[in-house]
């Protein structure tokens, strides 16, 4: 019973709980049994709430027994990346500087999950303040990829991806600043969606790059992704970057997901395949052939400014990080050095002792880019490049419904393989970063495996606020393949 229950998708479990065929308490007990078996070697979670989860599950079961209405995620165990504020447990951002921080309020997405009767079982590990591509930059613990424990799960939402892959929850939330949902989804054989900027409220998401950050789901399939997005999306007056209420009207993304996109036109950029591993290229081109057989037209396009995305991103993101992380000063909240003599030392030593190497590197890069004499030469130039990159996407979507490319140039790499070379680590996000600069939605879905049986991700990108179309395009591929159904053999 336990194994069969864990194999269910999020939407399947919702349906069975709502019909009374499965109890929410059984689902919660099953995932905690799985956590007891595998968490020690995977390290996906920073905090767990078993007692609280069982209490909430019993409440959901009681509602259903009494015939009362329940939410869209009633009784489903969900995990949340630990950079989203919650009044229960600590919100650490994977950093020693916030190791004992307890938020006085919930992020909007947390309130939305709870309002729809989801069971939040725990907070997941991440690269410190979401700065990384492998979850190796966490200041609190390391996370392994369930497909191969010697490999990284991707980052920065590696804990959320590993938790879903290892069947320690049925879906999870991550955040995506430059690929931090899609790349872990690719490495772990999941579906990961980065919504349009402003589609999902950022209120209560601890900021890294405010103009880039976006919350989204990591799930077993595209239908689950649609279900999760329907719960967390929508206008929020607490978030000044949240889109207008008319644009963000509540949408049932799941309702039409099985309806194929008629006269689908796909754009590809041939030059972008040159930087990917051969097995990745073969898998992605194989996926494109499947779409052709389904009647899609494939056209080749140019995106001349795409090559500037990495440089522009690491100037804009680090500049915003430099500003956002200035609040962690050893005075207002968080870690305070015990070795400081005056307030200058409190500020300097607290940050020096509690921030990790990558966070310090990005703060210094951002501070330099914003400093007097360098603002115009670096930061302003990066903003101009961002507008040109956005124009590439605008032009592409005048010709096609979507753009297809790899999610990552490789499959999951070994733990420790790239930590000594930050530039190589940054380049692992080469295909995902431009999407955040443009603010458009993108999804990663499994499209194959390499010779080591590690998953390969296919990235599909659509125009702003076209998540419904994006999910339908993803589902078209899933209906023809079973890559999304494959699970690690050791689980």
pLDDT per residue, tens digit, the chain (491 aa), is 578 999 999 999 999 999 999 999 999 999 999 999 999 999 999 999 999 999 999 999 999 999 999 999 999 999 999 999 999 999 999 999 999 999 999 999 999 999 999 999 999 999 999 999 999 999 999 999 999 999 999 999 999 999 999 999 999 999 999 999 999 999 999 999 999 999 999 999 999 999 999 999 999 999 999 999 999 999 999 999 999 867 666 678 999 999 999 999 999 999 999 989 999 999 999 999 999 999 999 999 999 999 999 999 999 999 999 999 999 999 888 899 998 888 899 999 999 999 999 999 999 999 999 998 888 899 999 999 999 999 999 999 999 999 999 999 999 999 999 999 998 999 999 999 999 999 999 999 999 999 999 999 999 999 999 999 999 999 999 999 999 999 998 77
Quick check: is 150 catalytic? no
25, 53, 133, 180: which is the annotated catalytic residue? 180
Q: Are 147 and 188 in contact (CB under 8 A)?
A: yes
pLDDT at 251: 79
Quick check: is 180 catalytic? yes
Q: Does a structural domain hold residue 115?
A: yes
Q: Which of 243, 374, 386 is nearest to 314 (CA)?
A: 386
pLDDT at 20: 94
Q: Does a structural domain hold residue 48?
A: yes
Q: Does a structural domain hold residue 429?
A: yes
Q: Does a structural domain hold residue 450?
A: yes
Q: Are 428 and 410 in contact (CB under 8 A)?
A: yes
Q: Does a structural domain hold residue 238?
A: yes
What does the alpha-carbon distance between residue 413 and residue 154 come to, in Å, rounded to a whole number?
9
What does the alpha-carbon distance between residue 125 and residue 329 come to, in Å, rounded to a whole number?
23
Quick check: is 156 catalytic? yes
What does the alpha-carbon distance between residue 75 and residue 225 come to, in Å, rounded to a whole number?
17
pLDDT at 318: 97
Domain boundaries, position 438: 2-266+399-485
Q: Does a structural domain hold residue 69?
A: yes
The domain tally of the chain equals 1
CA quadruple 315, 319, 324, 327: dihedral positive or negative? positive
pLDDT at 1: 52
pLDDT at 341: 85
Q: Could you please report the per-residue DSSP string of 252-271?
A: -TTTTTTSPPTT-EEEE-GG
Q: Could you please report the per-residue DSSP string of 35-77?
A: HHHHHHHH--EEEE-HHHHHHHHHHHHHHHHTT----TTTT-E
Opening angle at CA 175, ends 287 and 464, nearest 5 = 60
pLDDT at 142: 96
25, 30, 103, 156: which is the annotated catalytic residue? 156
What's the CATH number where 450 sits? 3.90.1300.10
Q: Does a structural domain hold residue 276?
A: no
Q: Does a structural domain hold residue 68?
A: yes
Specify the length of the chain in residues: 491
25, 30, 53, 81: which is the annotated catalytic residue? 81
pLDDT at 333: 82
Beta strands in 165-270 (DSSP E): 171-175, 191-194, 215-219, 265-268
What does the alpha-carbon distance between residue 5 and residue 76 come to, in Å, rounded to a whole number?
12
What does the alpha-carbon distance between residue 13 and residue 456 come to, in Å, rounded to a whole number?
26
What does the alpha-carbon distance between residue 478 and residue 491 come to, in Å, rounded to a whole number?
23
Residue 299 has phi, psi (to 5 degrees) of -120, 150
């Amino acid at each position: 019973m336990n194994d069969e229950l864990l194999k269910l998708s999020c939407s399947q479990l919702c349906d069975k709980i709502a019909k009374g065929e499965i109890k929410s308490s059984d689902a919660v007990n099953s995932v905690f049994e799985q956590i007891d078996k595998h968490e020690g070697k995977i390290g996906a979670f920073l905090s767990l709430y078993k007692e609280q989860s069982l209490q909430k599950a019993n409440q959901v079961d009681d509602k259903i027994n009494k015939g009362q209405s329940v939410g869209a995620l009633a009784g489903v165990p969900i995990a949340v990346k630990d950079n989203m504020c919650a009044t229960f447990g600590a919100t650490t951002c994977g950093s020693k500087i916030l190791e004992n921080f307890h938020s006085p309020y919930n992020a909007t997405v947390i309130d939305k999950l709870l309002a729809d009767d989801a069971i939040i079982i725990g907070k997941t590990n991440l690269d410190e303040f979401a700065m990384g591509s492998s979850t190796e930059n966490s200041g609190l613990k390391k996370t392994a990829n369930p497909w191969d424990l010697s490999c990284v799960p991707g980052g920065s939402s590696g804990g959320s991806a590993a938790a879903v892959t290892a069947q320690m929850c049925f879906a999870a939330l991550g955040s995506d600043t430059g690929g931090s949902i899609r790349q872990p989804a690719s490495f772990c054989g999941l579906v990961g969606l980065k919504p349009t900027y402003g589609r999902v409220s950022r209120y209560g998401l601890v900021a890294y790059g405010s103009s880039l950050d976006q919350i989204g789901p990591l799930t077993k399939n595209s239908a689950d992704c649609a279900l999760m997005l329907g719960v967390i999306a929508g206008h929020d007056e607490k978030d000044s970057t949240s889109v207008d209420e008319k644009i963000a009207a509540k949408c049932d993304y799941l309702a039409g997901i099985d309806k194929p996109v008629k006269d689908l036109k796909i754009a590809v950029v041939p030059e972008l395949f040159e930087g990917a591993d051969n097995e990745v290229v073969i898998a992605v081109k194989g996926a494109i052939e499947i779409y052709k057989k389904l009647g899609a037209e494939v056209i080749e396009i140019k995106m001349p400014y795409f090559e500037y995305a990495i440089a522009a991103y690491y100037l804009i993101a680090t500049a915003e990080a430099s500003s956002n992380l200035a609040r962690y000063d050893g005075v207002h909240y968080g870690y305070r050095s015990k070795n400081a003599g005056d307030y200058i030392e409190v500020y300097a030593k607290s940050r020096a002792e509690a921030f990790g190497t990558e966070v310090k590197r990005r703060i210094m890069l951002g501070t330099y880019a914003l400093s007097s004499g360098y603002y115009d030469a670096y930061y302003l130039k990066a903003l101009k490049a961002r507008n040109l990159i956005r124009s590439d996407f605008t032009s592409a979507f005048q010709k096609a419904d979507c753009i297809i490319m790899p999610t990552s140039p490789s499959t999951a790499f070994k733990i420790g393989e790239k930590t000594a070379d930050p530039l190589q680590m940054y380049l692992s996000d080469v295909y995902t970063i431009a999407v955040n600069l443009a603010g458009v939605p993108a999804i990663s879905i499994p499209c194959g495996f390499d010779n080591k049986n590690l998953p390969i991700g296919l990235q599909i990108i659509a125009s702003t606020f076209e998540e419904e179309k994006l999910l339908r395009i993803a589902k078209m591929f899933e209906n023809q393949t079973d890559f999304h159904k494959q699970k690690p053999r050791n689980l």
